Structure 1
Amino acid sequence: MVLYNFKKITVVPSGKDFVDIILSRTQRQTPTVVHKGYAINRIRQFYMRKVKYTQSNFHEKISTILEDFPRLDDIHPFYGELLNHLYDKDHYKLALGQLNTARNLIEKISKDYVRLLKYGDSLYRCKQLKKAALGRMCTVMKRVSPSLAYLEQVRQHMSRLPSIDPNTRTILICGYPNVGKSSFINKITRADVDVQPYAFTTKSLFVGHTDYKYLRWQVIDTPGILDHPLEECNTIEMLSITALAYLRAAVLFVVDLSGSCGYSLAQQASLFHSIRPLFANKPLIIACNKTDLQPIETLPESDALLLQEMKREAAKAGAGLVDGAPPDEEGCLLTMSTMTEEGVIAVKNAACEKLLQQRVEVKMKSKKINDCLNRIHVAVPRQRDQKERPPCIPQAVLDAKVAEAKVLEKRKLEKDLENENGGAGVYSANLHKHYLLLDPDWKEDIMPEIMDGHNIADFIDADILQRLDELEREEEEAAATAQAADEDEDMSDQELTAEETEALLAIRRKKKQILEEHRLKKSTADNKPVMPRKHDHNRQFNTGRMGQHLSSLGLDPGAAVERIRSKSRLGRKRERSAGGGDDYAMDIDQQPTKKMRARSRSLSRPHTEALPGEGYKDSAQKMKAMKIAKKAVKQRNKDARKGEADRVHYNLKPKHLFSGKRGTGKTDRR
């Protein structure tokens, strides 16, 4: 079996980029100067070299792509089936086959035109043959552009696949969606799988690693599976089924006892029985999760019977590991809670222990153990006589061990001191008692704290606590005095008249309205549709709205409205009467004609005027901001950028089209 590192697959360029890369390399790596005065054999060799070099570059680059992509028949069946579900095996093979065909066609084109170039009788004819050869090669590559684009998408997705070793010790977690599979893998490994309170949060395989008995274990989190026929499973569910079918692992079937996942225990038991063939010859554990919401002891009798039936089936699946072994139901049904972490480690240890036992049994039954036994020799000493020789320890050594044990019993350990003085978190160990000083009494001396060359003890006030108490009492007295003054000044609602009460309620309603408008504006962050001004009555600038606003403030709007109307009357143009009589002033209530509206544009508000809610202090600030914004987009518009995030750099001059033989005077740059 060949193991592939999908992250090292060569990047597949598009058809146009492929042609530019190859032709630019040909232009750089082959001679570019030829004269018609050269011998015809030299001219033929010049153009034959270009055709052969281009063909070899195409062959090398296409061969690298074909070799880097894995062959589905050579890799592990798990990866082969996984790639089949993700990318469709037929499309994948078809794209690689088209690339292989393109490589063969380019080689055939090169041979044909090299044969023709051997009979070229002039520079012009040889040049045209070279041009035709390179053009046909590029046409072949452009025709396989869809395959190249498909393979690049496959390469990008394959590079993001998790690194799963099909042969190592593996724990596979499966079950219905939202039963706690991702939470379990997050608890026992360093993986960080997204956990959300809805189904199908996990849409692909996730891998974590944990340790048990000094061995590294691989833990795989699979997407949720629904209980329906295999033909109706989507791509996400097929990832889980593929892992169950092709990986030799300990299977952990997670069950939600509380039903908060959206599926009852009967539905989960039905799924267990429908995918039971996938558990054959694999250690299987049923992990009952969310026991903090629904303890297993309080389950209804029907649900308890379902669990017992699942437990028997799990024992039978494990019994298939050893031929003729009776089903062992111990350890097949465990409870845990990923919320409180109760029983999580026990479930992990049980799964690891079952898989370890199964792997040892398989190795003992294999033929490899016989090869190992042939190379192992256990030496057993031959008994010399029937005399017993018990172990003999000198008495001095025994006395020394007894004395050492008595000393250890008398000496108090740091743990004993901790338990006597309040326990962990309360007891603080004395770090000075082991200091080696001339005078042992110096160990408890207080060390001076020095900052900026001064001893902090010189600046400590001995009466600091007393002074702090006095300051706090003064502050409390001042606060009490201020509160009493405020209570005297405030009037209770009962002392107000009916008009004052109504005014107070109006003020409070207005305050509440302003607060709600501000909160609404703040929560939406201006991310809301804007109503046109002609339909938005709150933004219309007319005398009616101004009068309502002034009336709400308790002011008389009559004088202000008359002043505005008088200015509007003076600004209008007088018209002749229909009978040719004297001029008359148009009545205020008369609707202006379309012609008058067009001519009265000078009286309208300019676009630079600051509107309420735009965030500008005045019109001058708005003008300045508009000027800065216009200056900021000047360079972007000059570069023909679509916006601030436009980072496209167009290759306007491919090297193979704009380099080569240079004219007179182009080389003197010194």
Structure 2
Amino acid sequence: MNGAFGLLQLRQNPPTSLILRRCGFSKVLKFEPLKISFPVVCFSKHIQTAVYEVVDGSYVPSADASQGSKSPDQGAVSLEAVGAFQKLPMVMPSVDILYSALRKAKRILPTKGIANVAKRERNRGAKQLDALMKELAVPLRTYKENFPNKNTLHPYERSLIELTLGDGNYEEVLGKVDMLRKKVVSVGKEHAAHCAKSLSKREAEERLSEGMTKIEEIFSCEGKAVDELLNIAKTLRAMPVVNLETPTLCLVGAPNVGKSSLVRLLSTGKPEVCNYPFTTRGILMGHINLSFQNFQVTDTPGLLRRLDEDRNNLEKLTLAVLTHLPTAVLYVHDLSGQCGTSPSDQYAIYREIRERFSNHLWLDVVSKCDLLKDSPVVFVTEDINTDNLELAQYRRSGPEGAIRVSVTNEVGIDDVSI
């Protein structure tokens, strides 16, 4: 995506109004007043006063807004296409594939004009075994060919496969499906050849029955690989559709700070909202459609204060979104003491993420401000006598310039408009 991206404003009438006002963006961008009476969310790819481009996975200000395109030597990244999961083939349950193949194979008749009974029977047996083999092998080959090679996917989709299915599981299941195909083909050809060499009708019938039974046993025993592939296809197809050409706002923060509540308010996304950590079990996407433009709002699992090697797959999904997708960041802080993560830990997480993804457009929001006390909430594990003035300031009001909001009673809603 070389399209420019800008963040204008969010102006909504109560009770659904929220966010995007007193932020760093407003100091840079200047806007014309909107003459509309209904709730509005405006992100724009083309802004007269500020232009953004995708560089290193982030929206960054263009060096020359007057130029219509970016020259190759400016370092912009050419993004790969996404959407492979929506193109996955439909996978039939293994039992359906087997029974369908058996029915079709048993309807195969011998070649017309064969007068000799033994020849006619061995011809029928060989044709039925060959048909059964093909009816089973063809869909397996289709799955192997049409499921994408993980190495050719967009880095974001590769991360989803590894973190959702487990590292190596995707390739392992596809390998099992292909091995099953090869085994079915090998056994089918072998028994079809034996049947074609039968010397009598009885021998041909016995070899046909033996071959059918053998192939059925193999597929029944190892067909669970097909069912595993079916579950993988369902899981991947259910992943949120991401459009790299659509401006995206990603909500980030510690668990249970109120990200999902904001996503429900801002967009069509309806994530689960509960008062326990890691309610969000994956990447959830909502959409905003206004004035013939589409915008994405992404809810992500919460981050805890710990090293990357100690993070669970849910936290790694959040980091994958920030690493591989061009997004503006809406970082949510909860200083009320209700989320279960101390302000000191939230501060440490925030500093780490802010430094790591410093090129992203950024907006800080302090949620649940209706629950904030006059004095800062201090957990028993915190050092209240710290000499860190920035941390002390954070405990009182969050990062400098952060917007205070409350989904519950609309506190701060009037401060949203620019």
Q: Quick check: TM above 0.5?
A: yes
Q: Separation in 2 of the partners of 1:117 and 1:291?
A: 80
Q: Which amino acid aligns with 1:4?
A: A
Instruction: Compute the displacement of 1:178 (Å).
Output: 1.6
Distance 1:78 1:99 in 2: 25
Separation in 2, partners of 1:345, 1:66: 56
Give me the whole-angstrom Cα distance separating, in 2, the residues matched to 1:45 and 1:36. 9
User: In the alignment, which of 15, 19, 26 is matched to residue 98 of structure 2?
Assistant: 19
Residues 302 and 117 of structure 1: is their aligned pair in 2 closer, same or farther, counting only changes over 3 Å? closer
Trace 1:29-428 onto structure 2 (pairs within 5 A). Answer: 30-31=108-109, 38=116, 40-211=118-289, 214-276=292-354, 278-294=356-372, 303=391, 305-306=393-394, 333-343=402-412
Q: Give the SS at the match of 2:326.
A: coil
Contact 2:329/2:360, CA 8 A, preserved across alignment: yes
Distance 2:414 2:137 in 1: 55
Tell me the SS of whatever aligns to 1:156.
Answer: helix
Give me the whole-angstrom Cα distance separating, in 1, the residues matched to 2:244 and 2:185. 39
Q: CA deviation at 1:145?
A: 3.4
For 1:183 and 1:254, how far apart are their aligned partners in 2?
Answer: 11
**CA shift at 1:171, angstroms?**
0.7
Distance 1:336 1:99, change over 3 A: same
Where 1:207 maps in the other structure, the secondary structure is strand
Give the AA of the match of 1:13: P
Deviation at 1:212, TM superposition (A): 6.1
In 2, Cα distance between the equivalents of 1:113 and 1:208? 55
Query: 1:218: how far off?
Result: 0.4
Equivalent-residue separation in structure 2 for 1:254 and 1:148 (angstroms): 42
Q: CA deviation at 1:217?
A: 0.7
CA contact (8 A) 1:292 1:340 kept: yes
CA contact (8 A) 2:254 2:304 kept: yes
Q: CA contact under 8 A between 2:188 and 2:211: conserved in structure 1?
A: yes
The match for 2:64 is none
Report the secondary structure of 1:57's partner residue: helix
In the alignment, which residue of structure 2 is the partner of 1:3? 83
Alpha-carbon contact 2:335-2:395 (below 8 Å) kept: no
Secondary structure at 1:200's aligned position in 2? coil
Residues 173 and 253, structure 1, Cα contact 8 Å, conserved in 2 = yes
- Match of 2:322, as an amino acid? L
The answer for unaligned runs of 5 or more in structure 1 is: 313-331, 351-670
User: Take 1:268 and 1:2, find their aligned partners in 2: how far apart are those partners?
Assistant: 32
Cα pair distance change 1:282/1:307, threshold 3 Å: farther
Indicate the residue corresponding to 2:70 in structure 1. Answer: none
TM-score normalised by structure 2 residue count: 0.68
Task: Say which SS state the counterpart of residue 73 (structure 1) adopts.
Answer: helix
State the 1:333 CA deviation.
3.4
Q: 1:158 & 1:138 partners in 2: Cα distance?
A: 29
Q: Deviations over 1:390-440 (max 9, x none)?
A: xxxxxxxxxxxxxxxxxxxxxxxxxxxxxxxxxxxxxxxxxxxxxxxxxxx
Residue 309 of structure 1 deviates from its aligned partner by 12
1:337 corresponds to which letter in structure 2? S
Between the aligned partners of 2:251 and 2:367, the Cα distance in structure 1 is 12
Instruction: Report the TM-score when normalising by structure 1.
Output: 0.44
Does the C-alpha gap of structure 1 residues 213 and 19 become closer, same or farther in structure 2, counting only changes over 3 Å?
Answer: closer
Secondary structure at the aligned position of 1:225 is classed as: coil
Contact 1:10-1:68 at 8 Å conserved across structures? no
| CA deviation profile, 1:229-266 (whole Å, cap 9, x unmatched) | 22222232222222222211001111113232232322
Aligned equivalents of 1:232, 1:36: Cα separation in 2: 71
Secondary structure class of the residue paired with 2:371 = coil
What is the CA-CA distance between 1:201 and the residue it aligns to? 2.3
- Do the aligned residues in 1 keep the contact of 2:330 with 2:364 (CA within 8 Å)? yes
Tell me by how many angstroms 1:7 deviates. Answer: 8.4
CA offsets per residue over residues 579-617 of structure 1, 9 Å max, x none? xxxxxxxxxxxxxxxxxxxxxxxxxxxxxxxxxxxxxxx
Q: Which amino acid aligns with 1:10?
A: M
Alpha carbons 2:376, 2:395 under 8 Å: kept:
no
Which amino acid is the alignment partner of residue 108 of structure 1?
A: S
Supply the distance in 2 between the matched residues of 1:277 and 1:132 (Cα, whole angstroms). 67
Task: Give identity over the alignment, percent.
Answer: 24
Residue 278 (structure 1) shift: 4.2
Contact 1:252/1:286, CA 8 A, preserved across alignment: yes
Amino acid at match of 1:140: I
Q: Is the 8 A contact 1:194 1:202 kept in 2?
A: yes
TM-aligned CA deviation for residue 83 of structure 1: 1.5
Q: Could you say what secondary structure the match of 2:208 adopts?
A: helix
Task: Tell me, in whole angstroms, the C-alpha distance in 1 between the residues paired with 2:190 and 2:206.
Answer: 14
Partner of 2:77: none
Higher relative contact order (CA 8 A, sep 6+): 2
Query: CA distance change for structure 1 residues 229 and 345 in 2, over 3 Å: closer, same or farther?
Result: farther
Tell me, yes or no, if the aligned pair for 1:10 and 1:64 is still in contact at 8 Å. Answer: no
Contact 2:255 2:277 in 1 (8 A): yes
Partner secondary structure for residue 171 of structure 1: strand
* Cα distance in 2 between the residues matched to 1:169 and 1:346: 24
The answer as to whether partners of 2:82 and 2:244 remain within 8 angstroms in 1 is: no
Question: Does the 8 A contact of 1:172 with 1:219 survive in 2?
Answer: yes
Q: Which amino acid aligns with 1:336?
A: V
Structure with max Cα Rg: 1
Higher-helix-fraction structure: 1
| CA distance in structure 2 between the aligned counterparts of 1:12 and 1:280, rounded to whole angstroms | 46
Deviations 1:4-56 (A, max 9, x none): 34486424424x5543332122223x128999963554433322211221111
Larger strand proportion of the pair: 2
Aligned ranges for residues 439-518 of structure 1 at < 5 Å? none
Partners of 2:393 and 2:326 lie apart in 1 by 30
Kept in 2, the 8 Å contact 1:173–1:254? The answer is yes
Counterpart contact for 1:7–1:158, Cα < 8 Å: no
Aligned-partner Cα distance in 1 for 2:358–2:222: 45
